[in-house]
Amino acid sequence: MTDNTRDWPLYEIFIRARSGLDHKHVGSLHATDARMAIEHARDLYTRRQEGVSIWAVRSTDIVASDPAESDALFEPARDKVYRHPTFYDIPDEVKTL
Amino acid sequence: MSASKAAAARENAGAEWSAHCHFVLRLADTSLILAQRLGEWVGHAPAIEEDLGLANISLDLLGQARMLLTHAGELEGRGRGEDELAYLREESQYLNMTLVEQPNGDFGQTMTRQFLVDAWQLELYERLQQSQDARLAEIAAKAVKETRYHLRYSAGWMIRLGDGTEESHGRMQAALERLWPFTNELFAADAVDLEVAEAGIAPAPATLQLAWTERVAAVLVEATLTQPQTTPFPWFGRQGRHSEHLGHILAEMQSLHRAHPGATW
């Protein structure tokens, strides 16, 4: 197989497994346009009934955090345990909180 | 057996089929041969995504063919199942439309063939859902959803490549010119068609033509392609008289079963 897809834009694919659930990222694929992205996503990621809805986003349109900035972005949250709501007394009647 | 006796035997084999069985076999064979053709792309498509897309369509068509062949075997009433009908009939007993046995050519030619067939199958299956043959109506109800997707897919490629680069446009127009004459057969009626239409089993072929033409024309306009002139040249694949290509397809498709009857995995 020749790799003609090098020039095709990359799309990130999100699938909603069932009504009521969130769209989850499942992978990426190449497509020349939005219509083809949905068709390829359908053929690649829903062939075993994995989903009821597809989102496709051009990978270049996703703004991502820089792994090099992880320390600055995420470390400061580590010692802020008081942000977790663990200081409440849960009444016995509440089973599923 | 002499050649004339062999020919007579083949005639007899066909003569045992009722028009009803004959018609279902034509549908089955058209789906089966197109599935086989699309299968030739596996591992060779221009992108891995297209590889899967073509294989999916092929498998949809194969699924249709299996149901239709099984149904035809029941209508025939000689105890033949899908495998016997698919693997042990000879070229002159195959009743597919000549269009679907045409070579894949380049990707654009494959898509053009697919598009012309998809648009026809969609019109046909939509109407077959009201068939007096309840089983055929069930098969059509399943197939119509698959076919809607096939048409979305192939029409997308018609537009993308037709309205693409100078080279892709030229190739698509050439494919259309090459394949267009085979579309005559989709709408020509013979005694079998008239009988099943009379019985309410299927629509008369000509009644599909207007809707098909409109559907195809709309896509061709968007694809900036020119609809070729209709030529009167007739093809007779569904009467068992094929172009030179079917024999090669059957040789490949049937050789394993003929060498190892009943082989499964």
- According to DSSP, residue A89 is labeled P
Considering only CB atoms, which chain A residues are within 8 Å of B44? 1
Which of B198-207's residues contact partners 24+ apart within 8 Å by CB, and which partners?
A: B199/B19, B199/B20, B199/B132, B200/B131, B200/B132, B201/B20, B201/B23, B201/B131, B201/B132, B201/B133, B201/B136, B202/B23, B202/B124, B202/B127, B202/B128, B202/B131, B202/B136, B203/B124, B203/B127, B203/B128, B207/B127
CB contact under 8 A, B53 and A43: yes
Considering only CB atoms, which chain B residues are within 8 Å of A44? 49, 52
Q: What is the pLDDT of residues B168-193, one digit of tens each?
A: 999 999 999 999 999 999 999 999 99
Considering only CB atoms, which chain A residues are within 8 Å of B56? 43, 47
What is the predicted pLDDT for the residue at B13? 52
CB contact under 8 A, B49 and A31: yes
Percentage of chain A beyond pLDDT 90 is 63
What is the predicted pLDDT for the residue at A97? 67
Q: What is the mean pLDDT of residues B45-55?
A: 91
What is the predicted pLDDT for the residue at A68? 93
Using an 8 Å CB-CB cutoff, list residues of chain A that contact chain B: 1-5, 8, 29-33, 35-36, 39-40, 42-44, 47
What is the predicted pLDDT for the residue at A3? 55
What is the predicted pLDDT for the residue at A94? 83
Using an 8 Å CB-CB cutoff, list residues of chain B that contact chain A: 43-49, 51-53, 56, 149, 152-153, 156, 160
C-alpha distances (whole Å) from A71 to each of A62, A77, B243 are 21, 10, 69
What is the distance in angstroms between the Cα of B49 and the nearest Cα belonging to chain A?
Answer: 6
d(CA A14, CA A51): 10
Which element (helix H / strand E) includes A16? Answer: strand A10-16
Q: Which residue of A has its CA nearest to B44?
A: A1
Q: Does the pTM of the predicted model rise above 0.80?
A: yes
Q: What is the mean pLDDT of residues B55-74?
A: 97
CB contact under 8 A, A1 and B44: yes
Pairwise pLDDT comparison (B143 vs A77), residue with the higher score = B143
Q: What is the mean pLDDT of residues A8-17?
A: 96
pLDDT > 60? residue B4: no
Q: Which of A2, A32, A39 sits opposite B153 (nearest CB)?
A: A39
Pairwise pLDDT comparison (B34 vs B14), residue with the higher score = B34
What is the distance in angstroms between the Cα of A63 and the nearest Cα belonging to chain B?
Answer: 25
Confidence of residue A1 (pLDDT cuts 50, 70, 90): very low
What is the predicted pLDDT for the residue at B146? 97
What integer best gives the mean pLDDT of chain B?
A: 93
Confidence of residue B8 (pLDDT cuts 50, 70, 90): very low
What is the predicted pLDDT for the residue at A6? 66
Confidence of residue B9 (pLDDT cuts 50, 70, 90): very low
Q: Which residue of A has its CA nearest to B43?
A: A1
Q: Which residue has the tokens 């068709």?
A: A39
What is the predicted pLDDT for the residue at A4? 59
Q: What is the pLDDT of residues A56-90, one digit of tens each?
A: 999 999 999 999 999 999 998 888 888 887 778 88
Q: Which of A1, A36, A42 sits opposite B48 (nearest CB)?
A: A1
pLDDT > 60? residue B81: yes
Q: Which residue of A has its CA nearest to B51?
A: A1
